[in-house]
Amino acid sequence: MRIILFAGKGGVGKTSISAASGVACAKKGLKTLIMSLDAAHSLVDSFDLDKTLMDRNRGKPLRVAKNLSIQEVDVQEEITKNWGDVHKYISTLLNISGIDEVLAEELAILPGMEEVSSLLYINRYVAQKRYDVILLDCAPTGESIRFVSIPTSLEWYMKKLFNVERRIVKVARPITKRLYEVPLPGDEYFANIQRLFDRLEGVDSILSNPNITTVRLITNPEKIILKETQRAYMYFSLYKMCIDAIVINRIFPDAVNNGYFARWKETQDRYIKETEQLFSPIPVFKVPMLKDQVVGMGELSKLAIEIYGARSPEEILYADTPYTFRKVGKDYFLDIKIPFLTKKEVELSKRNEELIVRIGGFKRHVLLPRNIAARQPSGAKIEHGKVIIKFGGKHGP
Ligand SMILES: Nc1ncnc2c1ncn2[C@@H]1O[C@H](COP(=O)(O)OP(=O)(O)O)[C@@H](O)[C@H]1O
Ligand SMILES: [Mg+2]
């Protein structure tokens, strides 16, 4: 069983690359599902299918070829199915506060509900062993981070808040009923949340198991997109997910060397090099800009060959986490694995949220999470092929 997330900024090629990977997996005889996590679903378009086909299918998997299905989760459908009582309660609340009923129902779709619905599917498919490969066409970076963070936050909520909230409501209900018009959530509301939580059980360990789940970051050779790729890398690392490949998509061919796109070509070359340096030793795949947009089975097959060459999409392409953040007591640590480390001198410099680590000819830029970026590195040591960098108390203005 394999789960692969394709993540990155909007427009870089996530949908095309997940679709292409799916086509290649299915051709090898693997039972494959491509699932869209982007509310602005575009898998159907990528496969050049009729949109009404999907609408009629109401967000269930749709078979598009031998061994290959695609799924675009239908929020409305999922809300009624999974969130009935929670949704009802919140929309009543909004409606009471004077918001029109239709709008209240729409607003009561909380951020996260859609992601939870997809997680429920994943959990179920894994339990049923229904597919060999599940490919997740993620929403743009920010939202896909929320997706992977949901199991952790939900667990926190259930452990720390849920029961407290439930008890408070029990005590307060008889009193508030007499005083206010605003209803407190009923038992069904809590039962609903509890039920959802139970059904999500285990999805966390599926997503953070590097033998099952890996993330592929899709990027383009441009400054701003590369920056976002670094940020995505940091966040997925924080959630202990394994990034097994970086795909640089939309690279101009050499043929554009001296025409209108000459400058673009130079820029791209520069950022391709930089991307390779930044993410080594994670494999970086380079994919050219094809002659036309990638639509339909035939084009997707071609794209798959451009991406993977002789390799298989379902392979685990890299099995290590090059860096991890830890907190011990009040201090934060960053561990960076560097193979074949011989030098003993570590040079650290920090520019805003970015830490630059230099060891001899080796240089690595690491984007820091917010609470670490507010601190200064206070020392580094080399141990067991790892550079361990310590961040002390808060500094600066
Ligand atoms: N390597 C490529 N060559 C040519 N066109 C591409 C390539 N990759 C993506 N495209 C096109 O770029 C557009 C955006 O790609 P898409 O996969 O939808 O990006 P995302 O899902 O990241 O928003 C689509 O029209 C797609 O056909
Ligand atoms: Mg897309």
Within a domain: 188? no
Cα–Cα distance, 203 to 120 (Å, whole number): 8
Q: Please tell me if the CB atom of residue 366 comes closer than 6 angstroms to any atom of ligand 1.
A: no
The answer on pLDDT for 104 being more than 70 is yes
Q: Whose CA is nearest to atom 2 of ligand 1?
A: 289
Q: Can you read off the two tokens belonging to residue 252?
A: 């101009």
Q: For the purposes of burial, counting CB atoms within 10 Å of the CB of 151, is it exposed (0-12), middle (13-18) or buried (19 or more)?
A: buried
pLDDT band at 366 (very low <50, low <70, confident <90, very high): confident
Q: Please tell me if the CB atom of residue 42 comes closer than 6 angstroms to any atom of ligand 1.
A: yes
User: Contact 68/32 with Cβ under 8 angstroms?
Assistant: yes
Q: Are residues 70 and 143 in the same domain?
A: yes
- List all residues 6 or more positions away from 57 whose beta carbon is below 8 Å from its beta carbon: none
More confident residue, 90 or 306: 306
More confident residue, 387 or 86: 387
- Which residue type is seen at 13? G
The answer on pLDDT for 212 being more than 70 is yes
Q: What value does the mean pLDDT take over residues 279-305?
A: 95
Cα–Cα distance, 20 to 38 (Å, whole number): 17
Cα–Cα distance, 166 to 174 (Å, whole number): 14
Q: Please tell me if the CB atom of residue 293 comes closer than 6 angstroms to any atom of ligand 1.
A: yes
The answer on pLDDT for 395 being more than 60 is no
Q: Whose CA is nearest to atom 25 of ligand 1?
A: 293
Q: Which of 213-222, 232-241, 252-261, 355-364 is the most confident on average?
A: 213-222
Domain boundary among 308, 333, 357: 308
Cα–Cα distance, 222 to 269 (Å, whole number): 9
CA 75 to chain centre: 19
pLDDT band at 254 (very low <50, low <70, confident <90, very high): confident
Within a domain: 57? yes
Q: Are residues 125 and 258 in the same domain?
A: yes
Q: Which of 305-314, 361-370, 375-384 has the lowest mean pLDDT?
A: 361-370
Calculate what percentage of the chain has a pLDDT beyond 90. 42
Total structural domains in the chain? 2
Q: Are residues 390 and 248 in the same domain?
A: no
- pLDDT score for 339: 65
The answer on pLDDT for 315 being more than 90 is yes
Pairing, β 362-367 against β 354-359: antiparallel
- pLDDT score for 216: 97
Which range marks the domain in which residue 390 is found? 323-394
From 46, 229, 293, 303, give the residue whose CB has the most ligand 1 atoms within 8 Å, as the site to mutate: 293
Task: Specify the residue for token string 């040591």.
Answer: 381
Q: What value does the mean pLDDT take over residues 171-187?
A: 69
Measure 137 CA to ligand 2 centroid, in angstroms. Answer: 7
Measure 46 CA to ligand 1 centroid, in angstroms. Answer: 9
Helix, coil or strand: residue 331: strand
Which ligand 1 atom minimizes the distance to the CA of 287?
A: 1
Pairing, β 242-251 against β 284-288: parallel
Q: Are residues 262 and 333 in the same domain?
A: no
Q: Are residues 292 and 378 in the same domain?
A: no
Q: Please tell me if the CB atom of residue 289 comes closer than 6 angstroms to any atom of ligand 1.
A: yes
Task: Specify the residue for token string 């009543």.
Answer: 92
- pLDDT score for 396: 46
- List all residues 6 or more positions away from 355 whose beta carbon is below 8 Å from its beta carbon: 334, 348, 349, 365, 366, 368, 377, 389
Measure 137 CA to ligand 1 centroid, in angstroms. Answer: 12
Task: Specify the residue for token string 């491509």.
Answer: 34
User: Contact 336/356 with Cβ under 8 angstroms?
Assistant: no
Cα–Cα distance, 77 to 327 (Å, whole number): 41
Average model confidence (pLDDT) for the chain? 87
pLDDT band at 340 (very low <50, low <70, confident <90, very high): low
- Structural Rg of the chain based on CA atoms: 24
Residue whose C-alpha is closest to residue 145's, from 217, 206, 199: 217
Q: Please tell me if the CB atom of residue 18 comes closer than 6 angstroms to any atom of ligand 1.
A: no
Q: Please tell me if the CB atom of residue 341 comes closer than 6 angstroms to any atom of ligand 1.
A: no
The answer on pLDDT for 397 being more than 70 is no
Q: Are residues 226 and 77 in the same domain?
A: yes
Q: Are residues 282 and 344 in the same domain?
A: no
Segments of the chain assigned E as strands: 2-7, 32-36, 62-65, 68-72, 133-137, 213-219, 242-251, 284-288, 323-328, 331-337, 347-351, 354-359, 362-367, 375-383, 386-394
Prediction pTM value: 0.86
Q: Which of 10-19, 135-144, 148-157, 331-340 has the lowest mean pLDDT?
A: 148-157
Measure 24 CA to ligand 1 centroid, in angstroms. Answer: 17
Domain boundary among 308, 340, 359: 308
Q: Which of 4-8, 45-49, 63-67, 198-202 has the lowest mean pLDDT?
A: 198-202
Within a domain: 253? yes
The answer on pLDDT for 27 being more than 80 is yes
Ligand nearest to the CA of 253: 1
- pLDDT score for 301: 97
